[in-house]
Chains A and B, each alone.
Chain A
Amino acid sequence: QVQLVESGGGVVQPGRSLRLSCAASGFTSSSYGIHWVRQAPGKGLEWVAVIWYDGTNKYYADSVKGRFTVSRDNSKNTLYLQMNSLRAEDTAVYYCARGVLSFGNAFDIWGQGTMVTVSS
């Protein structure tokens, strides 16, 4: 079964760090770019970051640039989102999603999401 499963969310104080994981199964994740998308409570979708299939390129939304870092371990079929200097406005459900080049990078597989709450 092709799927992505996020983990690592939780409650964290402002200024602290958290690392999210995205485990891929049922497909070779090293063949796909993986994106992170977040959704604040009651709000719309915000694209956060992408790491290319081979890890050579990484891009970030301005709102997280310099604070968040994406990485991947293709040997484990796992992707990571390291989040530093967290702010209240980073509170959201974080999804990882598979981008398909032949679909114009549309996201065909999404995880169920993991909730991150930044609060003192």
Chain B
Amino acid sequence: DIVMTQSPDSLAVSLGERATINCKSSQSVLYSSINKNYLAWYQQKPGQPPKLLIYWASTRESGVPDRFSGSGSGTDFTLTISSLQAEDVALYYCQQYYSTTGTFGQGTKVEIK
């Protein structure tokens, strides 16, 4: 199975500042024939199901604010919140679906400093 490792486990950022979450896969999730990475990012708030933010590593889901962006390719990926808002306090997960068994990272908790 592909193992997804996120860093850090938690971070505290001041309102309006940048938050950066990293995600590393144990093997490449780039499907070279179509040049796309099978990597998604989700946000989960307490008591709620996860919400899709980013797919194909960098494509923002409809309705997701443009302060959220995804980047990276192959095995190394980043989710950036360019200007942290109070409503962004949540857990964030990366997920690969390159293999037939999808796997999630362990999650990163984002808080306000």
Contact = CB atoms under 8 A, between A and B. Distances in A.
A78 B24 CA distance: 35
Contact of A62 (B1, B51, B102): B1
User: Which bracket fits the contact residues of B?
Assistant: 20 to 34
Contact of B93 (A45, A59, A61, A95): A45
Given A107-B50, A113-B49, A45 B104 contact: yes
Interface in B70-113: 91, 93, 95, 97, 100-107
B56 A104 contact: yes
A59 B101 contact: yes
Contact of B49 (A100, A105, A112): A112
Given A103-B56, A104-B36, A104-B40, A46 B104 contact: yes
Given A44-B106, A47-B103, A106 B40 contact: yes
B97 to A, nearest CB: 4
7 contacts: A44-B106, A59-B101, A62-B101, A100-B55, A106-B95, A106-B97, A107-B40
Interface of A: 35, 37, 44-47, 50, 57, 59-62, 95, 97, 99-100, 103-108, 110-113
